Amino acid sequence: MLLINLWNLQRDPQVWPNPNEFQPERFLTTHQDIEFMSQNFELIPFSFGRRSCPGMTFGLQVLHLTLARLLQGFHMCTKDALQVDMTEGLGVALPKEHALQLILKPRLPLHLYETL
C-alpha cells in the first residue's frame, strides 16, 4: 500500500511561500502557469491521472464566481475584530480547530439585493 502525505505536499515551502499563512491572494499572482489537467501535485485534492475529478474545472469556476460575488457584495469582518485562528483540528480533511465566524455587512442598499 502506498500512502501519500497530502498535508506535507500542500505545505511545501518550495512550492508555496509561507505555506502556513492564510493568503488567498497568492493565487492571483503566482502559479498562473499551472495546467489543471496535468499532474501538478499542488492540486492534489482533485486527484490526477485517469481517476481525476471530472468536475474540477467547473468546481473551480463556480468557487471563483461565488467568492467574487461575496467579496463584491459584502464587507466581511470577524466577530469583535479578532484575528483568525488558523490552528488545525484533527480529522481526515484537517478542519480548523475553531470555526470561523464572519459578519457580513451589505455594501449596497438591501432593495438592490432582492433582484439578484
3-state secondary structure 60-81: HHHHHHHHHHHHHHEEEEEHHH
Provide the grid cell at 15. Answer: 512550492
The Cα 67–Cα 27 span in angstroms is 13
CB 72 within 8 A of CB 78: no
Binding annotation: 53
Binding annotation for heme: 53
Element (H, E) at 103: strand 102-106
> pLDDT averaged over the chain?
76
If one compares 36 and 15, the residue with the highest pLDDT of the two is: 15
Q: Which residue type occupies 36?
A: F
**Interior CA angle at 60 toward 93 and 43, to 5°?**
55
- Does residue 17 carry a pLDDT above 60? yes
Tens-digit pLDDT profile for residues 41-95: 555 556 666 666 777 778 888 989 999 988 888 998 888 877 888 888 777 677 7
